[in-house]
Structure 1
Amino acid sequence: MTTADLTTADLILTNARVLTMDPDHPRAEAVALSGDRILAVGSAAEIAALAGPDTRILDAGGRTVLPGFFEGHLHVGLGGADLTHLHIGHLHGAEAVGAAFRGFAGANPDMPLLMAQEAHYGILDKPATRHDLDAMIADRPIAMMSPDLHTVWANTAALEAAGLLHGAEMPHGHEVVMGADGLATGELREFEAFGPVIAFAGEGRINLGIATGEEPDPRPGAAERAADKALLLKGMLHCAAHGVTSLVNMDGNRYTLELLAEMQAEGALPLRVKVPFHFKPHMDLDALERASAMAEDFGDDWISSGFVKMFMDGVIDSRTAYMLRDYPDQPGHRSEPLFAPERFAEIATEIDRRGLQIAVHAIGDGAVRAVIDGYEAARAANGSRDSRHRIEHIELIDPADIPRLGAFGITASLQPPHAPGAMDFPLQPTLSRIGAARLADAFNWRSLAEAGAPIAFSSDWPVADVSVLRGIAAALTRAPFEGARDERLSLAETLHAYTAGGAWAAHRDHVTGTLRPGLAADLVMLGGDIEATEPARIADLGVVLTICGGRVIHDAEAGAGTAAAS
């Protein structure tokens, strides 16, 4: 047994199959908690000796206990809003989608925008237009968002309400698609293009971090802040129900951090949250002063910043991912990086010089290479340090670039639910966009791990379901693409990527991610023994108990939890 001290435990979980993620003590039978810290990890008999008259003892009945899941890439405010929207991922065809919209409209007569989520790119069997949506509902603004959150299709009423019907000037990489009639077709590509639609729906402040990287102006009043905190709380409690105790919110700004700090002061912050400064192509280097200030002002065990998020490209399905070769279904087209490679290298070098971490969305192999080159330039200019710079997604990578991640210590931040066919995303149109000749270079999780890249797994919710158990099942059951090797990791590697790997990738491993005395009392108990469960049935286990900072934030058997955590 290892202990932090000899204090009597407040809570003991015993008769468990404890997977600690601590390589020195990988397994145990019981865990003792004292206050907000882990007191001891060991055998049932050893831990029983730490019980006092007021100790709460929970018999796990042989179920798996793990460190609380570390969600390394999601959008919790957007997710909170998503929970209030219409979901149409299971539907196909204009008739079914229209019926769902009309039913949702009837149930929400006062909603300013009727937003549908999970509208896959082929949902109408043709490129969707405002006229298609007008035929469903014409007298109220409606819109539907693609599963990857990079495209919105809006009806005429929504375009008019957002001031986009006649087009609008957009930054490079963001587009209001125009028709031959001189009016917007209804397709809005990337965040700044559909930002005005989100804004008039009342969710603009939560969307601002990812859309522009700027702060709300004018400063939101008390009622607006309360509404935004409610969305954050809704999203966090949804995460807690899936065993998540820490998350990296991959969008945000100082306003997001301020809201979280208010929730912390109110005793209503259930999870640990890390928030970036979002650097956009229009910004000058001096904007990084804001990133440094955020890092200095927010850095406790619950709320932290200290990193800069960027986008290098878009997504494969809309052909906005930056490729080294032409898209096979659109010869001559490779898309373009959102940052010129030499410009990105300059920015990365300055961020690294400031001692900040960098996380870059890069999906196409051209974007991935540009990011690696930029990180290499920063390392050459500033010297090697424990930077833990990250690349988010890496859906396609040139084989020559795979060993470079391990060589430079670059974290591969990957999402098992994103692989086509693994969970909710269909095989098409993604595989056709990649092309049969490149499928062996797509979603190369094992290849990256074998080459020494640190691996962190996440969901990217609300792009995909936040359920970690579904993500684990997807990671373990994913079928290899035709002509490609099996890129799955083992159960042990997958669990590590959802716990200790995520914490390490976020510079939070000194706080959480493993079950060791002295670290945060963050843990999750599943509904059975995950190691004895068939991979396809893992999602059925469910999460029984989630504890963050020593407080129960989800208890499925009690039917209730608490929002207070600090």
Structure 2
Amino acid sequence: MKYSHKFLTTLILTLSSASLFAQTTLIKNVQGYTLNGETLQAFSAITFTEDKIDQLFTKQDKIDSQPDWHIIDGNGATMLPGLIDAHGHVLNYGQSLMTADLVGTRSEQAAVQRTLKYAHENPTLTWITGRGWNQVQWDVKTFPTKETLDVVFPDKPVWLRRVDGHAGWANSKAMALAGITQQSISPEGGSIIRDNNGQPTGVFIDNAMALIEKNIAPLTITQQKNILLKAMHSLASLGLTSVHDAGIDSETLTAFQQLSAEGKMPIRINAMLYLPTNQWQQTLDKGTFHSADHMLNFNSVKIQADGALGSRGAAMIEDYSDHAGHKGLLLHDNQSLSHYINSAMQAGFQVNTHAIGDNANKIVLDLYQTAIKKNNSKVLRHRVEHAQILRLIDIPRFHDLGIIASMQATHATSDKNMAVDRIGEDRILGAYAWRKLLNAKTVIAAGSDFPVESANPFFGLHASVTRQDKQNLPKNGWYPEEKMTRVEALKTFTIDAAFAGHQEKIIGSLAPGKKADFILLTDNYFTSDESKLWQNQVLSTWVNGIQVYKK
């Protein structure tokens, strides 16, 4: 196709005018920090034009500001690169903001009462749903039962997910709708918990949860978009500029794509397609996807090898220390797991596999080793999500195979009260082993696993540095030899998380030419008391040079 000289001239003048009138912003008077390789770089001012950073300035640098610049006084606030959560669940998080919140309940009855309060506030709901209970934190550390729900919900179905999403608690009405009886058989990779008489108690583990959930009407695309928007705006308020969404189906991917096309996404999303879900193969066949503004990327899949430690679903090589004869659950046989891994690698997708128990981690590493060689796919930077309990001999394999450990620091501080009970004094030495992995040159990408844990990244930074909970316990930290330095912790939430999403060239640090993704904070991350790192507050969040949140 040929274009006229007049058309080309007009086009050139239009592009030139656009560049002439592009807005440059100077933010001065900040305590800025970014990573330059392994080195921490301090700065006091930054300029950016539209979505790209122009220059960082130290106090000694002279800034030749122009009359048309937009100048903002940072008033001494701390500036960091936008924080990246490498493992969260955006739709589930949004739903958690709109369902019964059971996080922090201290007893089964307290969880019931909070659910009842939510039901009274939402009388038109046909199902009462919620999430966040954790029997390990209850006074009586046993699974709940349907009977306590039946007392207050005799006629309306109730379904409450455990905090980790690997177990659910139903009342009799929900079980009746699902056709659950004493004769019901637990599916492969799942368990229907029963009492001494063989009756289902109301608790369903891992794959058995689908027996109940298939009866809950699925969300429409429009409903998903509204929930995703609510979630993303909430995440931006916490200082997150990018999230790796760990396991979505094709419909949720469509919802994200529509939001991206409409220019409505406040933060960046790296979407992982969950395998297997409906039409997963057809979705992979369409290939990877990257929006022009890099707000939405789809180049990875999420597979789940086992369950969680709290519900004893994590697959262990030897019996649980507190449950003789029980080794946890593998959600797929090796042949199926290998099929999913190879299908994704062959289609050019990064493979991110959930593995918590030492057996699940060993199996995933073994299958990765074979598949990476077969598909020549080391360059795709495959990941193990959680990498929670490792045999010591498996730790060096991460670096050797080029595998990223995608880990969540707050899991350690949440699990510390039960982890040793579950796996004993010997196996715990390979659990939550951040220092051992770093010493073995493993790249750790940090996240939270929200809504399992709080989405607040400063909780994760605090846990990484202190190995303590928010009450600063235990003294000196839980297995303190595994602590990170503040620089290392920040690295896991910025440039290494960006690397894990194949985006380290555009985000993860503040440098000329990279995207203007950054946050301004009330407290200096590097000089404040480490016990108070979790209390830091976000003043504003910027993505692509646009302020998407202001306190």
Q: What range is the shorter-chain TM-score in?
A: 0.7 to 0.9
Q: Structure 1 343/153 Cα, relative in aligned 2: closer, same or farther at 3 Å?
A: closer
- Corresponding residue for 2:32? 18
Q: Which moves more between the two structures, 309-318 or 430-439?
A: 430-439
2:253 to 254, 257, 263: 257
What's the secondary structure of 1:274's corresponding residue? strand
Displacement of 1:455 in angstroms is 0.8
Q: Is the 8 A contact 1:362 1:394 kept in 2?
A: yes
Q: Is the 8 A contact 1:457 1:502 kept in 2?
A: yes
- Residue 544 of structure 1 pairs with residue 536 of structure 2: no
Q: Is the 8 A contact 2:322 2:422 kept in 1?
A: yes
- Corresponding residue for 1:375? 368
- Corresponding residue for 1:247? 243
- Corresponding residue for 1:67? 81
- Residue 402 of structure 1 pairs with residue 418 of structure 2: no
- Corresponding residue for 2:155? 139
Alignment of 1:521-532 (within 5 A): 521-532=516-527
Taking structure 2 as the reference length, the TM-score comes to 0.88
Deviations 1:500-531 (A, max 9, x none): 11110011112211111121111111112111
Alignment of 1:92-491 (within 5 A): 92-122=106-136, 123=138, 125=140, 126-164=142-180, 171-178=187-194, 184-190=200-206, 192-195=207-210, 197-198=212-213, 201-202=216-217, 204-205=218-219, 224-280=220-276, 288-296=281-289, 301-341=294-334, 343-345=336-338, 347-383=340-376, 385-419=378-412, 422=413, 425=414, 427-479=416-468, 484=479, 486-491=481-486
Taking structure 1 as the reference length, the TM-score comes to 0.85
What amino acid sits opposite 2:395 in the alignment? I
Q: Which moves more between the two structures, 447-456 or 312-321?
A: 312-321
Displacement of 1:456 in angstroms is 0.6
What amino acid sits opposite 1:31 in the alignment? I
1:517 to 512, 531, 538: 512
Q: Structure 1 451/188 Cα, relative in aligned 2: closer, same or farther at 3 Å?
A: same
Q: Structure 1 303/170 Cα, relative in aligned 2: closer, same or farther at 3 Å?
A: farther
- Corresponding residue for 1:58? 72
Please give the alpha-carbon distance, in whole angstroms, between the structure 2 residues aligned to 1:169 and 1:401.
35
Structure 2 residues without counterparts, runs of 5 or longer? 1-18, 469-473
- Corresponding residue for 1:87? 101
Q: Structure 1 413/30 Cα, relative in aligned 2: closer, same or farther at 3 Å?
A: same
Q: Structure 1 483/99 Cα, relative in aligned 2: closer, same or farther at 3 Å?
A: closer
Please give the alpha-carbon distance, in whole angstroms, between the structure 2 residues aligned to 1:233 and 1:6.
33
- Corresponding residue for 1:213? none
Q: Is the 8 A contact 1:311 1:361 kept in 2?
A: yes
Q: Which moves more between the two structures, 539-548 or 193-202?
A: 193-202
Q: Is the 8 A contact 2:109 2:148 kept in 1?
A: no
Please give the alpha-carbon distance, in whole angstroms, between the structure 1 residues aligned to 2:36 and 2:349.
27
Please give the alpha-carbon distance, in whole angstroms, between the structure 1 residues aligned to 2:209 and 2:378.
39
Deviations 1:134-193 (A, max 9, x none): 134323222322111100111112223444457766652133445576753211111x53
- Residue 499 of structure 1 pairs with residue 471 of structure 2: no
What's the secondary structure of 1:115's corresponding residue? strand
What's the secondary structure of 2:209's corresponding residue? helix
Q: Which moves more between the two structures, 166-175 or 382-391?
A: 166-175
What amino acid sits opposite 1:26 in the alignment? Q
Displacement of 1:360 in angstroms is 0.3
Displacement of 1:384 in angstroms is 5.9
Q: Is the 8 A contact 1:523 1:548 kept in 2?
A: yes
What's the secondary structure of 1:97's corresponding residue? helix
Please give the alpha-carbon distance, in whole angstroms, between the structure 2 residues aligned to 1:96 and 1:347.
41
Please give the alpha-carbon distance, in whole angstroms, between the structure 2 residues aligned to 1:184 and 1:376.
40
Please give the alpha-carbon distance, in whole angstroms, between the structure 2 residues aligned to 1:346 and 1:161.
34
Q: Is the 8 A contact 2:275 2:340 kept in 1?
A: no
2:58 to 31, 35, 43: 43
- Corresponding residue for 1:217? none
| Higher Cα Rg, which structure | 2
Q: How many residues align?
A: 524
Q: Is the 8 A contact 2:28 2:72 kept in 1?
A: yes
Please give the alpha-carbon distance, in whole angstroms, between the structure 2 residues aligned to 1:361 and 1:294.
22
What's the secondary structure of 1:131's corresponding residue? helix
Please give the alpha-carbon distance, in whole angstroms, between the structure 1 residues aligned to 2:214 and 2:180.
12
- Corresponding residue for 1:30? 45
Structure 1 residues without counterparts, runs of 5 or longer? 206-223, 557-566
What's the secondary structure of 1:306's corresponding residue? strand
What amino acid sits opposite 2:432 in the alignment? F
Deviations 1:401-447 (A, max 9, x none): 0111111111010001111xx2xx25343331112232222110110
Q: Is the 8 A contact 2:57 2:63 kept in 1?
A: no
More strand by share: 2
Please give the alpha-carbon distance, in whole angstroms, between the structure 2 residues aligned to 1:529 and 1:315.
35
Please give the alpha-carbon distance, in whole angstroms, between the structure 2 residues aligned to 1:289 and 1:360.
20
Please give the alpha-carbon distance, in whole angstroms, between the structure 2 residues aligned to 1:61 and 1:551.
19
Q: Is the 8 A contact 1:547 1:554 kept in 2?
A: yes
RMSD: 2.8
